[in-house]
Amino acid sequence: MEFAGQNAIVTGAGGGIGFEIARDLLLAGANVAMLDLKPEPAGIPDGPGRSLYLSCDVSDDDAVQAAVAAADAEFGGLQLLANVAGVLWFDRDRSALDIDLGLWDQVFSINLKSMVHMVRHSVPLMKRAGGGAMVHFSTIQCLRGDDAPQDAYQASKAGVVALSKSLAIQLASDRIRSNVIFPGPVHSPMQARWDNKPEAIESLAGIIPLGRIGAPKDLANACLFLLSDKADFITGTELTVDGGLMARP
């Protein structure tokens, strides 16, 4: 997939899945504005695309507006958006019956409202460019219950799906596509609890039909497909990338 001459914004690009998406877009020729609160990571490719790393709190509308404007000024437009930023706080996120409601609001602000900020400032640039594509990251956890619930995470990620479908219909006439990825278990910084625990990874891999947990590259491959012209007739839908886990009886 080639993205030469296209400009992208990737949130959560300071590590894990977001970094892998930004990296692959740069290697495929896109210019990429990488947004994150984390320090700029090592290993950003020198090209062929150009990169711009911006410190940005995506839950802050003013900060997002400034970051999108900076990307536009640097690259001269926008066609692609990957909304990857999000939080999963195992130690504090729990059942809605007893979760701290301030924490609930914070998770929703980062996981869902941030996407509202991103699209409201990005879409005008995509319209100016004559079209574009957006991919938003949810989770397979929003499709099922859990006896160890993270209700704020799951509910906020379910909202991502509803928002994406609405955007897909609203923006279809502008040739702007909107799709969602449902990641399954992925060994990324968000799942640092698996670090140095090969037995936990092996146990989880044993219930995944393809026999392994995911890697950030697996999600980047799916995201680049949905952003590319190869997915030109795909909008308003969800792609599950979980090694077959949700297909199990």
Residues 132 and 177 sit within 8 Å (Cβ to Cβ): yes
Q: What contacts 24+ positions apart, CB below 8 Å, involve 35-41?
A: 35/9, 35/10, 35/11, 35/67, 35/85, 36/11, 36/12, 36/85, 38/14, 39/14, 40/14, 41/14, 41/15
* Distance in Å from the first CA to the final CA of the chain: 35
Name beta bridge partners: 177.
133
Which amino acid is present at 135? V
What positions carry a catalytic annotation?
Answer: 153
